[in-house]
């Protein structure tokens, strides 16, 4: 913790720790607060003097805990925590700076509830800081997101109604493994029983969620972010196959997971995947690679590369 916090601020932090982790010992509390055990016991004493019943017990299952039925005071923030909260909200959702946004109204309530000594700077930051909108972000429906989070937590299989970018709509029975936020977009990482494969669905395109009577077990040791990255480049409409005459170890640092799966091929390697946008794949991903390659498939990607080459060639052609 910061060294400049007052005894009251440290006592409130001690209260939060005991509330979240009943049975916290004086030694553990001291470590979390960055003080000696004697000082930690003193902060517990401050709480008791304020009328908060903090009970203590000895033995292997002892430690501090709040008395049964204790009603806690409102949440308290330090000035640094309040400013960090406002900054995180504006960074993740620039529209929260406006007055009509749902998150903006919620943030406003939090700021107004803060003591003036803490909330003044947070209110000024919210009023005078501006955030440019992210053109690639997409906000999902909070109700849909809540349903999916509940299904993930309860490990309940669900039926999702999904609408693709071009407007096609279908229903899929899935095991919802996790929700992953990536560059301003929310994804549902799941196993689709319709495709019998891993799928990544944009949560903002999910139109409805219905629980089934079935449960599921996620893969052991699942790393949602890594699995999402690996699968973003698979299952799209247009296949891709790009061959390199360099060893995989030299090419791999330049390949992002959504581009596909990089595999050894003879003395070189091959990038196999798919995309929904061949022109983007050629212009934003292939064009930045600093070495030679051959696009062997699919036809849509080959056509996009030909068009890109023609456009660049025309850009440097001598004028008549």
Q: To 10 degrees, the CA torsion angle through 165, 206, 177, 147?
A: 160
Give me the pLDDT at residue 239, please: 92
**Per-residue model confidence (pLDDT) at position 153:** 92
What pLDDT, in 10s, does the model give residues 25-75?
Answer: 988 999 988 899 999 999 898 888 877 888 888 766 678 888 876 665 566
Alpha carbons 90 and 87: distance in angstroms, whole number: 5
CA distance 47 to 1: 19
Please tell me the predicted confidence (pLDDT) of residue 265: 95
The pLDDT tens digits of the residues spanning 154-200 come to 999 999 999 987 788 999 999 999 999 887 788 999 999 988 989 98
The answer to whether residue 5 scores a pLDDT higher than 70 is: no
Residues 83, 128: Cα–Cα separation, whole Å: 13
Confidence band of 212 (pLDDT split at 50, 70, 90):
very high
pLDDT bin (cut points 50, 70, 90) of residue 282 is very high
Four-residue CA torsion sign, 125, 127, 132, 138: positive
Our CA dihedral for 175, 178, 182, 185, rounded to 10 degrees, sits at 60
Contacts of 187 (CB under 8 A, 6+ apart): 179, 180, 181, 200, 201, 202, 203, 228
Provide the 3-class DSSP secondary structure of residue 264.
strand
Structural contact between residues 93 and 133, judged by C-beta atoms closer than 8 angstroms: no
- Residue 135: exposure state from Cβ atoms within 10 A (0-12, 13-18, ≥19): exposed
User: How much is the pTM?
Assistant: 0.61
Q: Report which listed range, 9-23, 37-51, 185-199, 226-240, is most confident.
A: 185-199
């Amino acid at each position: 913790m910061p060294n400049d916090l007052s005894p009251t601020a440290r006592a409130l932090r001690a209260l939060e720790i005991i509330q979240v982790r009943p049975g916290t010992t004086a030694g553990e509390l001291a470590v979390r607060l960055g003080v000696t055990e004697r000082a930690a016991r003193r902060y517990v004493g401050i709480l008791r003097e304020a009328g908060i019943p903090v009970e203590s017990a000895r033995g292997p299952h002892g430690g501090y805990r709040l008395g049964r039925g204790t009603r806690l005071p409102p949440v308290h923030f330090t000035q640094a925590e309040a400013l960090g909260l406002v900054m995180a909200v504006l960074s993740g959702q620039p529209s929260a700076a406006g007055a009509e946004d749902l998150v903006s109204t919620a943030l406003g309530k939090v700021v107004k509830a803060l003591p003036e000594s803490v909330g003044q700077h947070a209110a000024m930051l919210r009023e005078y800081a501006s955030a440019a909108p992210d053109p690639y972000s997409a906000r999902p429906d909070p109700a849909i997101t809540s349903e999916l989070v509940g299904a993930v937590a309860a490990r309940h299989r669900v039926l999702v109604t999904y609408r693709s970018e071009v407007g096609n709509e279908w229903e899929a029975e899935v095991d919802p493994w996790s929700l992953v936020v990536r560059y301003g977009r929310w994804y549902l990482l799941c196993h689709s029983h319709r495709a019998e494969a891993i799928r990544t669905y944009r949560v903002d395109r999910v139109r409805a969620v219905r629980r089934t009577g079935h449960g599921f077990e996620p893969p052991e040791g699942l790393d949602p972010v890594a699995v999402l990255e690996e699968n973003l480049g698979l299952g799209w409409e247009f296949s891709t196959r790009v061959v390199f005459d360099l060893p995989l170890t030299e090419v791999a640092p330049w390949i992002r997971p959504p581009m596909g799966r990089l595999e050894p091929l003879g003395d070189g390697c091959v990038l196999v995947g798919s995309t929904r946008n061949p022109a983007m794949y050629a212009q934003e991903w292939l064009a930045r690679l600093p070495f030679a390659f051959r696009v062997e498939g699919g036809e849509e990607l080959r056509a996009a590369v030909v068009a890109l080459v023609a456009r660049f060639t025309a850009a440097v052609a001598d004028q008549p």
